[in-house]
Amino acid sequence: MTASPDPDQALALLDEHKGILFKVANAYCPRAEDRDDLIQEMSLQVWRSYRRFDGRCKVSTWMYRIALNVAISFHRSERAHQHLLSGDDHLRDLPAPDTGPPPEDVQALQRVIAGLDGLNKALVLLYLDDHSHGEIAEILGLTATNVATKIFRIKERLRRGLAPGPLS
């Protein structure tokens, strides 16, 4: 990107890929208030990082990397409620994707994912979003082999932990 980015272009990217932010926030924050704060913090970090985006990877890869790093830090922080945008009101108004309540099997999967640690949660999130092992490795800074091994182990744990259903 250019050294002096166009704010409208940054907002357009945020709007176009907002689903990534909502997906990550839903995976890391069970409470709506925390999700809102996390989405604001992720939006702010994407906004701040926009001028450094050089196009060497896909925009979605870059945004996942930022969103997951922010979510993991946010989740660990005891001061999660203090992370609010302060002057960038236009970033707060990203509308949530219009979806109804998820089916019961999806809710069960969401509960299992919520119980995973940060890295495994990120792996499952990216895997369910149909990213290749190579893309997941690039986003999380792992090797593709490590990603494949971790995903296999998570699947095995899910098979053992869930009653017969969509993942068995």
Tokens linked to 111:
């509960």
Residue 107: pLDDT band with limits 50, 70, 90: confident
Q: Which of 87, 121, 130, 92 is nearest to 14 (CA)?
A: 92
- Nearest C-alpha neighbor of 28 from the set 65, 68, 66: 68
Which CATH number characterizes residue 160's domain?
1.10.10
Q: Are residues 86 and 105 in the same domain?
A: no
**pLDDT at 143 > cutoff 90:** yes
Domain tally, the chain: 2
Decide: 53 and 59 in contact? Cβ < 8 Å. Answer: yes
Higher pLDDT, residue 154 or 89: 154
Calculate the average pLDDT of the chain: 77
| In contact, 10 and 50? CB cutoff 8 Å | yes
- Both 86 and 16 in one domain: the answer is yes
Which tens digits make up the pLDDT trace of 26-70?
A: 888 878 888 888 999 999 999 888 888 888 888 888 999 999 989
pLDDT band at 96 (very low <50, low <70, confident <90, very high): low
The pLDDT of residue 17 is above 50 = yes
The residue among 45, 69, 99 that closes a domain is 99
The residue from 74, 99, 124 where one domain ends is 99
**For residue 78, is pLDDT > 80?**
no
CA distance 19 to 30: 17
Question: From CA 19, how far away is CA 128, in angstroms rounded?
Answer: 14
The gap from C-alpha 151 to its chain's centroid, in whole angstroms, comes to 17
CA 114 to chain centre: 13
The C-alpha atoms of residue 121 and residue 68 are separated, in whole angstroms, by: 10
Domain range for residue 64? 1-99
CATH number at residue 30: 1.10.1740
Contact 42, 71 (CB under 8 A): yes
Indicate if 91 and 141 belong to the same structural domain.
no
Global confidence as pTM? 0.61
